[in-house]
């Protein structure tokens, strides 16, 4: 199946630091990428949908100035958590797809972010 | 909000079939039904998807009701490695909202 690489897999940093997470589709051109966050024992919460070359569409309640998403190419999207604080600690997961209803999403392995 | 509802948890014995139900009563005509599963501390894994007809692949089968308001994921012989949270999603490819999913436990 299609491969999506997410990096880093985990990061620990001090409060106030900005953290960038990369999501790459390795063997197909992803028209659409999705970013999720997941708290322990909860489901995935969609943060934003990103189409290549366009601004990301953020879900209600997600601060776009806090979570910067860039999708400059068909194989790379980045999520930057700006001025991270302990409440931003979570498991962040990206996925990539061709953006059509009959195409599945392919997920990265997630990034565990811990803010001290 | 998620457009699907699933039981919170199910249990199965190893090597027995498992039928995981999903209701999607508000599904639109062009929405596909997708199933994913997630192991702890990993990203979800694609299982299967379909529109109207039943679908089979190496992992599972998907049985879709004639009115498309419900579907069932079928694992033909559950193994311990199938223990995971299973998510059913209906969508148009641009808006995937995950519900709580079904936590499947497989007993040896």
User: Is B8 part of the contact surface with chain A (CB cutoff 8 Å)?
Assistant: no
Report the pLDDT value the prediction gives residue B18, as an integer from 0 to 100.
Answer: 97
Give the position of tokens 């302990």. Answer: A86
Residue A54, pLDDT score: 84
More confidently predicted of B84 and A41: B84
Residue in A with minimal Cα distance to B92: A101
- Predicted confidence band at B16 (pLDDT cuts at 50, 70, 90)? very high
Burial per residue of A11-29, b for 16 or more beta-carbon CB atoms within 10 angstroms, e otherwise: beeeeeeebebbbbbeebe
Rounded distance between C-alpha atoms, residue A21 and residue A25, angstroms: 14
The Cα-based distances of A93 to A7, B40, B48, B60, B100 in angstroms read 10, 13, 20, 24, 16
Write the pLDDT tens digit of every residue in A20-56.
999 999 988 888 999 999 999 899 999 999 888 888 9
**Residue B2's pLDDT is what?**
62
pLDDT reported for residue B20: 98
* Nearest Cα residue in chain B from A103: B93
Asked if omega into B41 is within 30° of 0 (cis), the reply is no
* Inter-residue contact B43 to B57 (CB < 8 Å): no
> Looking at residue A88, what is its pLDDT?
96
With a pLDDT cut of 90, the percent of chain A lying above it is 75
Q: How many CB atoms lie within 10 A of CB B39?
A: 13
Q: A70: how many CB neighbours lie within 10 A of its CB?
A: 15
Q: Read off the pLDDT of residues B30-57 as tens digits, 9 standing for 90 and up.
A: 889 999 999 988 999 999 999 998 999 9
Q: Is A1 on the interface with B (CB under 8 A)?
A: yes
């Amino acid at each position: 199946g299609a491969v999506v690489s997410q990096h880093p897999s985990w990061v620990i940093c001090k409060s106030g630091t900005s953290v960038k997470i990369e999501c790459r589709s390795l063997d197909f051109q992803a028209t659409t990428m999705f970013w999720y966050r997941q708290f322990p024992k909860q489901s995935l919460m969609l943060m934003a949908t990103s189409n290549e070359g366009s601004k990301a569409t953020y879900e209600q309640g997600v601060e776009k100035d806090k979570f910067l998403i860039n999708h400059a190419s068909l194989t790379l999207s980045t999520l930057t958590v700006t001025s991270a604080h302990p409440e931003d600690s979570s498991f962040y997961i990206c996925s990539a797809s061709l953006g059509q209803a009959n195409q599945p999403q392919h997920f990265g392995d997630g990034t565990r972010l811990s803010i001290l | 909000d998620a457009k699907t509802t699933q039981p919170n948890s199910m249990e199965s014995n190893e090597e027995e079939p498992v039928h995981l139900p999903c209701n999607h009563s508000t599904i639109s005509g062009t929405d596909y039904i997708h199933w994913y599963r997630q192991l702890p501390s990993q990203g979800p894994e694609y299982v299967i998807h379909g529109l109207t007809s039943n679908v089979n692949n190496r992992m599972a089968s998907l049985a879709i009701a004639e009115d498309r308001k419900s579907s069932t994921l079928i694992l033909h012989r559950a193994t311990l490695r199938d223990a995971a949270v299973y998510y059913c999603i209906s969508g148009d490819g641009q808006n995937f909202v995950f519900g709580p999913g079904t936590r499947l436990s497989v007993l040896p």
